[in-house]
Amino acid sequence: MSRSLRLPLGKAVSLAGALLLSAAVTGCRQDMHDQPKFFPQRGTSFYADGRSVRPQVVNTVARSQAETASYFTTGLVNGAEGDGMPFKVTLDVLERGQERYNIYCTPCHSRVGNGKGMVVERGYYPATSFHSYRLRQAPLGHFFSVITNGYGAMPDYAAQIRPEDRWAIAAYIRALQLSQNAASSDVPSGAHVVPIAAVEESTGFSRDFLGAWLGSSSTSTSSAPAVSAPATTPAATTDTAKTAIAAAPLAPATATKPGSKNVEVAGIAKPAAPQAAGAAPAAEAPAKGDAVHGKAVYAANCSVCHQPTRAGMPPVFPSLIGVVDRVGEKRVRTVAKEGIPDAKPPMPPHPDLTDKDISDLIAFLKTKP
């Protein structure tokens, strides 16, 4: 039986040769592997100087290399997020902020800032609503910092949005917050507003659709679908957001935008005290701590999610490498103590941490990994 299955020697050799030839033929296409190319940081005989990497063009600078670390470029004052605008806010600035917001922010946060944008409706991570209590109390520097550095599942937009446009978006977000949470006393005399909830009920359209329609419409609040008498929360319209803002004065400007309408809008920022032109809001002095003890605090409270290396697992758990420089000591202290309940996933609070524990943690986070 076994003999009948054996192949003659000649046929066996032929079959083996055919298999080897097939393997050689299938593996001979090395176009992508052996293509002529330079390897980074390796030499080459192609150029006379023996370098594969060519010298940079004269006067080439790295992105942000020419920027100085100022309130305008970081949104931080002594390591804490500031609550003021570094330049005068005009209607042109708000309109620019609205334009940039509609381009970069609405896919996740929606036109009205409720966190129910189109990509969220299609399965992306739920975005935070700008109308939550936490973000209504957040300083303007927080929005600038998040746009610059990213936050959780949100990527950074430093490469796409210039610093002045990030500030314009922050100013527009503040106006947008007021448009959804204003009181009747915030509305100018003679202006007619209606509750957006009432408009939503009477028209059958969603609040996000109404915000998009009203925000892009050239009509004023008075032409919005009306129902009963004005209530506490006015409809979300661009005109209301631009004209119904009345609160504390702005931070003084260093320059006025050329061609500006030069109309100041109050209530965008609330500096603690009068400041000199171009000055950033005052903040607490940075705290000192014990980095050795801070490492133990980190290992016991943070390393499970953010990893022992501090690299995190983006976009779910953000990296904490350089986090103090990015968001400031005050923000780190607040998050460590109170957590972020509306994050995705939510970060729990750590009420058992003492002020010294957090100061030591901050000192550890400042060290190089």
**Rounded to whole angstroms, what are the CA distances from 93 to 108, 167, 172, 270?**
22, 9, 8, 18
Q: How far is CA 231 from each of CA 59, 197, 256, rounded to the nearest angstrom?
A: 59, 10, 36
- Phi, psi dihedral angles at 2 (to 5 degrees): -70, -35
- The model's pTM is 0.50
Q: What is the pLDDT of residues 271-322, one digit of tens each?
A: 333 343 345 555 555 557 899 999 999 988 998 888 888 888 776 778 888 8
- pLDDT tens-place string over residues 72-84: 999 998 888 999 9
For 21-25, what is the mean pLDDT? 67
- Highest CATH level, class, for 71-184+238-243: mainly alpha
pLDDT at residue 202 greater than cutoff 50: yes
Q: Crossing angle for the helix pair 140-149 and 163-181, nearest 10 degrees? A: 130
Nearest-angstrom CA–CA distance, 203 and 219: 17
Residues of the chain with CATH 1.10.760.10: 71-184+238-243, 291-366
Q: Which element (helix H / strand E) includes 76? A: strand 76-77
Q: What angle in degrees, to the nearest 10, is found between the helix axes of 355-366 and 329-338?
A: 130
In this prediction, residue 126 carries a pLDDT of 82
The model's pLDDT over 115-163, given as tens digits with 9 standing for 90+, comes to 989 998 888 888 889 998 889 999 999 999 999 998 877 889 998 999 9
Q: Point out which residues pair with 317 in neighbouring strands.
A: 313
Per-residue pLDDT at 205: 63
Looking at residue 213, its pLDDT comes to 55
| Residue 103 pLDDT grade (very low, low, confident, very high; cuts 50, 70, 90) | very high
> Which of 1.10.760.10, 1.10.3720.10, 3.40.190.10, 2.60.120.10 would CATH assign to domain 291-366?
1.10.760.10
Displacement of CA 160 from its chain's centroid (Å): 11
What is the overall mean pLDDT for the chain? 74
Residue 213 is encoded by which pair of tokens? 């329609």
Q: How confident is the model at residue 195 (pLDDT cuts 50, 70, 90)?
A: low
Tell me the per-residue pLDDT of 312-358, one tens digit each, with 9 for 90 and over.
877 677 888 888 887 888 888 888 888 887 666 778 888 889 999 99
Q: Are 107 and 118 in contact (CB under 8 A)?
A: yes
